Structures are given as C-alpha cells and as structure tokens.
Amino acid sequence: MVAVPALRDSGWVIEERLTQLERRITRLERHAGFAVEPAPHPVPDEDSPPAPMAPPHAVAAPVTVERVKLSISTSEAVLKWAGIALVVLAAAFALGLAVERGWVTPTVRLLASGVVAAGLFLAGQRIRGRRRVFADTLQGAGFVVAYLTALGALVMGVVGGGTGFVAMITVTLAALLAAASLDSPPIAVLAVLGGLATPLLLESGIDDPVILGWYVPLMTVAGLAVFAWTGWRSVAVSTAGASWVLLVALLDHSQRPFVAVAVIAVGALLWLVPLLRTVLETRDRLAIRSSHVMEERLAPFLSRTTERLIHTAPIVTLLLLVPVLDLSRGQWSAVVAGTGALFACVAAALARPGLRDQAFVHVTVAAMLLAVGVAIALEGDVLLVALALQVAVLVVVGERLDHRPMRWQALVTLAIALVAVIARAADRGPAGPVETAEWVAEATVLGVAAWRAIADRRAEVRSLLSFSAHMVAVGWLLSVLSEPGLVVAAVGLYALTRLVEFAEMGDFQLSNRIHAAALVIGLWWFGSAQYAELLDSDVVRVGVWAVAPVTFAVWAWLDRRTRGDAIAAYAAVLGWIVLAAGTSDAWITTGWVVVGLAALAAGVRTSLSQVQVAGWSTLGLATTKLLLHDLESTDPLVRIALFFGIGLAFLALAYLLPTRIAPGDSRPESPVVAPHSGAR
C-alpha cells in the first residue's frame, strides 16, 4: 500500500522535469535563431521554472551556437571589402557614364578619383586609433584608387607615357613609405603587387630593355627594404612571388643580357636580404616592431620564410636563366656546381653559435646544387637514372640520420626528375617514337616517384607526391602509347592507384578524381567524334572503352565510402552508349532511356535520392533529345517506334514502382476484411 503513493510522486516529478526541459529547449532554440551571442544574464520567461530546479548541464547548450556562427572579424572583413568594392565600382560606372555622355571631361574624372583616394586615406587616418584593421582597409583602398587614377590618366591620354609611368611608381613608393610608418603590412603588400604589375599594365614599356635591366630589381629592393626594416614576412613573400612572375611574363620581350642581369640581381636580393635580416635578429641588432593581425594569422604559413627563400632563390634563378643564356651542357654544369660551392662557403661562414640552422640550410642547398651540377654533366637517359638514384640515396640517408633538409633535398631532386620526364614527353608529342633506353629511364623515375608516394609517412608530403607521380605517369602514357593500348593502360593505372588508395598505402584521392574525369571526358569525346562522323566506327574501340565503366562500377561496389566511382561509372555508361550507337539517334535515345529507367527503379528500391535524381536527369535528357532532335532527324517509322516504346516503358515503370519495386514497408497495404462470424 505504501509503494503506490511513492510511484505516483515519482511519476509527477519526472513529468514536471520533462516539462521544464521542454521549456528550456524552446528558449535555447529561440536564442540560437535570433541572437548572435548568448546574453551573459538571460532574462527568464514568465513560465520559466525556479533556478534551483534547473539541471546543472543546461548551461552547456550555447556552445552549439558558437560552433556554427561566423566570427565577428570574418564578417567585418567580408562586409568591408565587399562594400568598398561596390562603392568603387559604382563610382567608376557613374563617371564612365558621365564621360560617355559628355557631362564631364576626362580631366575632371581624374580629379574626382584623386579626391576619392585622398578622402579614403584621410578617413582611414582619422579612425586609425580606434579601428586599426578597418583603417588599413580604407587607406589601402585609397592607394588602389590613386594607382588606378595614374593608370587612367595614361590610358585616356591626359598625360604621356613617361609621366604616367613616373606617377604610378610614385604612388607605389608612397604606399610603401606609408605602410612602414603606419605599421600596415596590407598596404605594403598592395604597394608591392601594384608596383610590379605596372609594366604589365602599361604594355608600352615591355619592349624596352631598360625595364628588365633596372625596374624589376629596383622594385624588389623597395619591397625587401620594407621587409628588412619591419620583418613582415608577408611582404617578403609577395615581393618574391611578384618579382618572379613579372620576370617570367616579360622573359621573351626584352634583350637577353638585360634579362640575365635582372634575374641574377633579383635572385641575389631574395637570398641575401632575408639572410642578413636573420643574422641581425639573432644578434639583437633590430628593434621589435608592433604585431599586426594579418601577420599573426599568416604566422603558421610564413614561419620559415627565410629558409624557404634561401632554398628557392637559387633554384628559381637558375631555371629562369635557362631560356636566357645560351650555354652548353658542360658550362651549365659548371654554373650550377659553382653556385653550390658558393653556398657551401657561406655555410662554412655561418657555422657558429646562433646561426647553425641557417648553416644547415645552406649545406642542403649546396649539396643539392653540386649533385645537380654533376648530373647535368651527364647526358639524356643517364641523367634521369642518376637523378632517380640520387633521390633514393638521399631518402635512405636522410631517414637514417634523421636529417630533414636532406629529405627535402630528395623531394627537390625528384621534382627536377619529374619535370625532365614531362619535358621529354612534351617534346616527343602524343604517341611519339620512343627508344628502349628512353622508356627504361623514364619508367625508372616514375617508379621512384611511386615508391616515394607510397612509402612516405608524412601525410602532406605523401599527398603531394602521390598527385605529382600520378599526373606525370598519365602524361607519360600519352606520349608513349596510342589507342587502344593507351585506353587499357590508363584504365589499368586508375585501377592500380585506386587499389593503393583503398589499402591506405597512398593518398591518390585528388589525382584519381582527375584521372576518372579524364577517362570519362575521353570516352565522351570519342563517342561524340564518332557520332559526328569525324572518326570511323570501330568495334575494337567500343570493346576497349567498355573496360572503363566496368572498372568504375567494380570499384563503386568494392568501396562504398565515396560516390565518385559510382558517378564516374554512370557518366561512362552514358558516354559508352553514344560510342556504341555510332550515328544512330534511335539507339542512343533508347539506351539512355533504359539506363534512366533502371536508375530510377534502383533508386526507389534502395531509397537513395541521389540515384533517383540521376535516373530522372537521364530520362529528362533522353526525352528532350527525343522531342527536339529525334523528331526531325529520325525516320518516321523509327520515330513512331521510339515514341511508342518509350511511352510504354514509362507506363510500365509507373505501374511497377508502387507494387513491385518500392520497398515492402513503403507499399500500400491491402484492405483487411474482417471474417464473417455468422449470427447466432
């Protein structure tokens, strides 16, 4: 008799707490939908329960809101840049319309742009003490408008070419000085990019050899001077990237001696200035600059900028000199080995306390250049085999000694070998004649690349190696094989890389997607070419290309973690139907209808919406082709048969879907008739 009231009280308490929990969930959902951040002291509703009854874990609910919302800084950055871009575009459109209709002259338009630039800079300076990041944006936009004003004056013919060029350089240098005095890396990056883009925008000075003789090194000096004074690594990286891009873009537009001078000067600056900055930092000879939010956010990516520039400066410099200097193999070997000896001497000078890391970097570069110099002295196939052997030796020794620079040196050497394979393949052309020695040498390099892609334990390096080796192998196959052997080899390579990826021995995810897309595109291209009668019908081609959709389908069945193989198999089947049908529109439409009906039925049966969408899309494509193309291109009897057969197929599927194809729990139930019991 005592248990009943206790049970009744317990049930009442549970019901009361459930009611309270529902109220709290409703209130939290309301807060999550309308408030950006939860209030520190929320005001309870009138029907809120007393504080002691609140479960202690309820306060953890707002964490979900924090995970899904955008940060305030990100929202501000997007809004401000978008707003400024819209304002500048609106002003440009308004002024352009005014000039077009003769309301204002080009001079007045340029003066208005100058006023806008000055206004943006002054507005940013006014709020710099309160909103530093927003001030950087306004003032950076001001310099951009000023730079475009100078460019516009030149384009519209208000000033001459020399005056406009000087005006653009003046804006660039003013932006660099302002960035250094205002502690603003974004303005400095914009100035560097704008200054080095000036010759490309002008176009009139590209043929002048003086530009490459002194302008590019001068702008590199300006950017690196700001880096040496402030230590902003983003400015150093921007200067290096923009300088090299400009040299590559103008490589064929000037005289070779001036190009060589510019390339050597830029390479020496990008090597020595970061090195001297590091030496002075080690000896505490530089004042510490105030931190900036952009540098803080880029710190994980720019933490080893000096070491990376020391690694890349000599390599990029030598590569840019190759099309400029007409040297023999022996002379190039001496130049590369001499550069390696120079780095070895600098490494010996840096072998002292506090600078041993820089010394190790120079030792690595010296060893790499000396090895490449010796390899260049060799010829053709021997060179490729020598590079592959160097990679293998450097990897083994680097792992045994746990020497990270040596492992990176092996990666650089492998990259050089892969570039050499691609260059030889491009020179040979598609399915060009290849000798046995060439084939063996290039296959050796690809084998070493595949070994590194599978054996490397570092995830990022493995992904990069896998992608590079895979893409180079595909390009190499294009140069040594022709159809149908190329198709079989390409499909076999895809199956092999998928097997390695499935066994988690390599990271070929991205390259396999590109490979599958290339196979599907190739299948559709051959089908379209045969449909347009650009190629003759070939039964062997139809049979060989059938391997592609079968391979995709097998992997789609074996590995169900991703849908890539299933999508590739479906697209390949549709393309193969075009290839097999040749020029017959009726067979193409019929095949697409059959595949679409099968996909739709399978999607309904398995309750997979993606498969149903694929089926409906295919049926829509087939129906559109039937109504817009086959209606006029096919024979009347064939047209009747197509319409009639496809109509019957649609009706049959409509009949079978709810009764035979749909899952059992989704089918309509038969009415239940009560048994007749009779009357008594």
pLDDT digits (tens, 9 = 90+) for 308-338: 888 888 988 988 888 888 888 788 888 988 9
Assess contact for 527 and 575: CB atoms under 8 A: yes
| Reported confidence tier of residue 30, pLDDT bands at 50, 70, 90 | low
**What is the Cα–Cα distance from 394 to 403, expressed in whole angstroms?**
10
| Reported confidence tier of residue 56, pLDDT bands at 50, 70, 90 | very low
| CA count, 13 A, side-chain hemisphere, 34 | 6
Whole-Å CA distances, 485 to 85, 482, 488, 576, 583:
53, 6, 5, 18, 25
Please tell me which of 70-79, 359-368, 635-644 the model is most confident about, judged by mean pLDDT.
Answer: 359-368
Higher pLDDT, 525 or 298: 525
211: closest CA among 184, 174, 243?
243
**What is the Cα–Cα distance from 606 to 618, expressed in whole angstroms?**
18
Look up residue 152 and give its two tokens.
Answer: 């516009």
Helices 509-531 and 459-480 cross at an angle (nearest 10°) of: 30
Residue 38's Cβ-count burial label (10 Å; 0-12, 13-18, 19+) is middle
Q: Is the pLDDT score of 565 beyond 50? A: yes
| Reported confidence tier of residue 519, pLDDT bands at 50, 70, 90 | very high
Assess contact for 310 and 358: CB atoms under 8 A: yes
Higher pLDDT, 680 or 366: 366
Q: Is the pLDDT score of 392 beyond 80? A: yes
| Reported confidence tier of residue 576, pLDDT bands at 50, 70, 90 | very high
Neighbours of 39 (CB within 10 A): 9
Q: Is the pLDDT score of 626 beyond 50? A: yes
Over residues 44-49, the mean pLDDT reads 45
Alpha helices in 70-160 (DSSP H): 72-100, 106-127, 132-155
**What is the Cα–Cα distance from 244 to 320, expressed in whole angstroms?**
9
564: closest CA among 610, 603, 632, 527?
610
**What is the Cα–Cα distance from 183 to 475, expressed in whole angstroms?**
48
Over residues 128-140, the mean pLDDT reads 73
**What is the Cα–Cα distance from 366 to 347, expressed in whole angstroms?**
8
Measure CA of the first residue to CA of the last residue in the chain; give whole Å: 46
Higher pLDDT, 584 or 288: 584
**What is the Cα–Cα distance from 491 to 470, expressed in whole angstroms?**
13
Instruction: Name residue 407's amino acid.
Output: R
Q: What is the pLDDT of residue 515?
A: 92
The per-residue pLDDT of the chain, averaged, comes to 75
- The pTM of this model reads 0.50
Assess contact for 632 and 652: CB atoms under 8 A: no
Q: What is the pLDDT of residue 8?
A: 43
Instruction: Name residue 39's amino acid.
Output: A
Q: In the chain, pLDDT over 90 holds for what percent of residues?
A: 6
Q: What is the pLDDT of residue 637?
A: 63
Over residues 273-301, the mean pLDDT reads 76
584: closest CA among 546, 543, 649, 639?
639
605: closest CA among 564, 670, 554, 665?
665
**What is the Cα–Cα distance from 445 to 466, expressed in whole angstroms?**
14
Q: What is the pLDDT of residue 4?
A: 44
Q: What is the pLDDT of residue 45?
A: 45
Q: Is the pLDDT score of 510 beyond 70? A: yes
Q: What is the pLDDT of residue 423?
A: 87
Q: Is the pLDDT score of 129 beyond 80? A: no
**What is the Cα–Cα distance from 587 to 595, expressed in whole angstroms?**
12
Cis before residue 484, ω within 30 degrees of 0?
Answer: yes
Over residues 64-71, the mean pLDDT reads 36
| Reported confidence tier of residue 230, pLDDT bands at 50, 70, 90 | confident
- The counts of H helices and E strands in the chain are 28, 0
**What is the Cα–Cα distance from 8 to 12, expressed in whole angstroms?**
6
Assess contact for 113 and 142: CB atoms under 8 A: no
DSSP state of 58: G
Q: Say which residues have a Cβ less than 8 Å from residue 411's Cβ, sequence separation at least 6.
A: 452, 461, 465
Across 64-78, 259-273, 628-642, least confident range? 64-78
**What is the Cα–Cα distance from 262 to 211, expressed in whole angstroms?**
9
How confident is the model over 486-498, as pLDDT tens digits? Answer: 889 999 999 998 8
Instruction: Name residue 157's amino acid.
Output: G
Assess contact for 363 and 392: CB atoms under 8 A: no
**What is the Cα–Cα distance from 210 to 208, expressed in whole angstroms?**
5
Q: Say which residues have a Cβ less than 8 Å from residue 572's Cβ, sequence separation at least 6.
A: 519, 520, 523, 548, 549, 552
Over residues 538-563, the mean pLDDT reads 87
Neighbours of 309 (CB within 10 A): 23
Q: Is the pLDDT score of 407 beyond 60? A: yes
Q: Is the pLDDT score of 34 beyond 60? A: no
Q: What is the pLDDT of residue 67?
A: 35
How confident is the model over 413-437, as pLDDT tens digits? Answer: 888 889 888 888 888 888 778 788 8
Assess contact for 187 and 143: CB atoms under 8 A: yes
Q: What is the pLDDT of residue 59?
A: 43
Q: Is the pLDDT score of 3 beyond 60? A: no
Neighbours of 517 (CB within 10 A): 14
Higher pLDDT, 237 or 134: 237
If DSSP codes are grouped into helix, strand and coil, which group holds residue 679? coil
Across 349-353, 377-381, 500-504, least confident range? 377-381
185: closest CA among 80, 288, 294?
294
Assess contact for 198 and 250: CB atoms under 8 A: no
Instruction: Name residue 90's amino acid.
Output: A
Assess contact for 274 and 305: CB atoms under 8 A: yes
**What is the Cα–Cα distance from 155 to 206, expressed in whole angstroms?**
16
Q: Is the pLDDT score of 11 beyond 60? A: no
Assess contact for 239 and 266: CB atoms under 8 A: no
Going 421 to 424 to 428 to 430, the CA torsion angle's sign is positive
Look up residue 51 and give its two tokens.
Answer: 């504080």
Q: Distance between alpha carbon 639 and the CA centroid of its chain, in Å?
A: 47
| Reported confidence tier of residue 269, pLDDT bands at 50, 70, 90 | very high
Going 17 to 18 to 21 to 22, the CA torsion angle's sign is negative
Q: Say which residues have a Cβ less than 8 Å from residue 314's Cβ, sequence separation at least 6.
A: 267, 271, 339, 343, 365, 369
Q: What is the pLDDT of residue 677?
A: 44
Look up residue 488 and give its two tokens.
Answer: 């079989």
Higher pLDDT, 52 or 652: 652
Look up residue 559 and give its two tokens.
Answer: 């590995």
Higher pLDDT, 115 or 444: 444
Q: Is the pLDDT score of 532 beyond 70? A: yes
Look up residue 349 and give its two tokens.
Answer: 């000078």
Q: How many residues does the chain have?
A: 680
Q: What is the pLDDT of residue 598?
A: 85
Assess contact for 537 and 579: CB atoms under 8 A: no
Higher pLDDT, 576 or 560: 576
R_g of the chain, CA atoms, integer Å: 35
| CA count, 13 A, side-chain hemisphere, 445 | 30
